Structure formats: C-alpha cells, structure tokens
Amino acid sequence: MAELSVEHLLGIKYLNENDIQLIFETADHFKEVINRSIKKVPSLRDITIANIFFENSTRTKLSFELAEKRLSADVINFSAGQSSVKKGETLIDTVNNILSMKVDMVVMRHPNPGAGIFLSKHVNASIVNAGDGAHEHPTQALLDSYSIREKLGDVAGKNVVIVGDILHSRVALSNIFALKLQGANVKVCGPKTLMPKHIESLGVTVETDLRKALNWCDVANMLRIQNERLDISYFPTTREYTQQFGVNKKLLNSLDKEIVIMHPGPINRGVEITSDVADSKQSIILNQVENGVAIRMAVIYLLASKIK
C-alpha cells in the first residue's frame, strides 16, 4: 500500500507531491463515504486521538472531530481555556499526561509558530498541526487545493491569487507551498505593509493592484485581516483597506472572466469580501468546509497506518 513520506503532518513544507496526490486520492474515497446514508467506516477502531486546542477554532476543530468519528476512532477533546494550563502546566507535561491515557495521535492548534514541530520531538505520538501561529495550517491548504482540483479539474497550471494579510497568515504560507508543489502559478496581493520581505523567494509574484490580480487569476483566495496578530496599525483604516483590497460583486462583474472565489473562514463580511460575493455561485467557501472533513479523514487514516 502507498504511504506518506512523513510520520507527522507538521506543515506542507515537509510533504512532497506524491504525498499530496495520495492524500487527495484517499480523500476522494472518503468523500464518497461521507455522502452515503451510513457515513462511517470502522477503519480506526483501535486508534485514540486527542484534539488539543490552545486557540479558538470553529471549522478546524469540528472538522477534525467529525473526521475522526467518521473513521470510528476514539476521540478526546481538550481546550486550554478550561484546563490545568491555566494553573501553569507546560505543553509537554500536558501532552504527556494525555498520552499516558494511551492516546495514539494528537491534533494540535497553538498560537506559537513551531509548537507542533517542538512537540513531535518530545512526545511519542503522531502529531497533526491544526494551525501554529502565523506559521502553517497544512490541512487548510490541502482542502483548499482539493477544492480547486474539484472545481477546475486540476491545480497544475492554474493561476491563483491569495489576497490580504499575507504577513500574518499561516493559510497563505501553507497554500503557497501546496500550490507551488502542484505546479500552480501563484500571486499574492495586499498592502505592502502586510507583505513579508523576500516573499518572492517562495516562487510567487507580488501584485498590489487587486483588479489586475483578479483579471489574471482563475481563483482568488480571500484572507481576513488577522486582527489578533496585529500589534500595530498596518493600514490607515478598515474602510480604506476594503476600498483597495476588498472584493465586491461590482468588481467581479467588471472582470474579463468569471473567477472562483475562496475564503478559509472566518469571514469578515463587508471587509475583505461582501455578502453578495461570499454567497454567490462563484464562491466555493462552503465546498471548502465540506471537503475539509474528507481531507482530514485522509490525513488521519494515512498517518494512523504508520503508527507501529
């Protein structure tokens, strides 16, 4: 049986193209399963998974939990806010205590970049990064590429623009790695102040004119401003940001072609995207969420098959 080249999913940076294709083919199978009347398979009846979230989440947390349950794994959930982390317990102590309860896999969201990498070096379990600060969000990038593949037939050769707060976005970095690995052409668009220095070294080009970027692309992935990570003001006002980098129906209708609109969520309606775009037939935002379950089932299933 084909297997992943990695024991943990810490970032797209550590995957190769074959890993991505294997995850997609496995997700195709699980997507068919979750559309049956009986949406569950017994594949992981002998596996226990802990979802440990040190940061807020709606989509990723629910999607992982559902994916694990659809695979018949035993699932425990941990939110830092209601835990002994509040009493000063360290990350390693917390996770080792959870692992003493015979847990095989840890899905972790953490505000610190590299938290998953650190954990994978110190605990004996398979680690899945569910978002680590402004570093990576690998399952989001996988479900994003999978949704492009589903909508447009392939990712290779497609023009994709990622718009918004590139500097603070783990979604942007993971998407750039994933899209480049699959042969897509990638532009990033946003205020210069929210563009990392040397971003071109990742094989992307920078465009500060949103209309030009939209006229070039097949797909626009709209990101929200990561207000929780902004310690200073990176643009004059939200209103000016929206005028320059927000997408609305009038702008979309004035383009040369019909493009696909994506957003990882949560949406700030009226800031980076208006409701008439988010809810339009050009938007695949809810397809992304639906595909997230199949992608996470595939990732967990493939990693579990490598647990000795």
What is the contact surface with ligand CP in residues (CB under 6 A)? 57-60, 131, 137, 140, 264-266
- Residues facing residue 269 across a β-bridge: 273
**CB neighbourhood size of 133 (10 A):** 17
Q: How far is the CB of 55 from ligand CP (least distance, A)?
A: 8
Q: How far is the CB of 116 from ligand CP (least distance, A)?
A: 14
Q: How far is the CB of 18 from ligand CP (least distance, A)?
A: 26
> Which is closer to ligand CP, CB of 43 or CB of 174?
174
| Helix/strand/coil percentages in the chain, nearest 5 | 45, 15, 40
Burial classification of residue 165, based on how many CB atoms lie within 10 Å of its CB (0-12 exposed, 13-18 middle, 19 or more buried): buried
> Which is closer to ligand CP, CB of 185 or CB of 285?
285
Residue whose Cβ sits closest to ligand CP: 60
Q: How far is CA 186 from the centre of its chain?
A: 17
Q: Which two tokens stand for residue 58?
A: 């709606």
| Residue 73 per-residue DSSP state | -
Q: How far is the CB of 139 from ligand CP (least distance, A)?
A: 9
> Which is closer to ligand CP, CB of 8 or CB of 137?
137
Q: How far is the CB of 246 from ligand CP (least distance, A)?
A: 19
Q: How far is the CB of 157 from ligand CP (least distance, A)?
A: 26
> Which is closer to ligand CP, CB of 126 or CB of 169?
169
> Which is closer to ligand CP, CB of 110 or CB of 137?
137
The span from the CA of 222 to the CA of 268, in Å, is: 10
> Which is closer to ligand CP, CB of 106 or CB of 185?
106
Q: How far is the CB of 147 from ligand CP (least distance, A)?
A: 12
The span from the CA of 211 to the CA of 207, in Å, is: 10
Q: How far is CA 165 from the centre of its chain?
A: 15
> Which is closer to ligand CP, CB of 131 or CB of 191?
131
Helices (H), 104-158: 115-122, 138-152
Residue identified by tokens 């629910």 is 62
The span from the CA of 224 to the CA of 90, in Å, is: 31
Nearest to 12 by CA among 1, 25, 23: 23
| Residue 52 per-residue DSSP state | E
Q: How far is the CB of 200 from ligand CP (least distance, A)?
A: 26
> Which is closer to ligand CP, CB of 131 or CB of 138?
131
Tell me how far apart the terminal alpha carbons of the chain are, to the nearest angstrom: 15
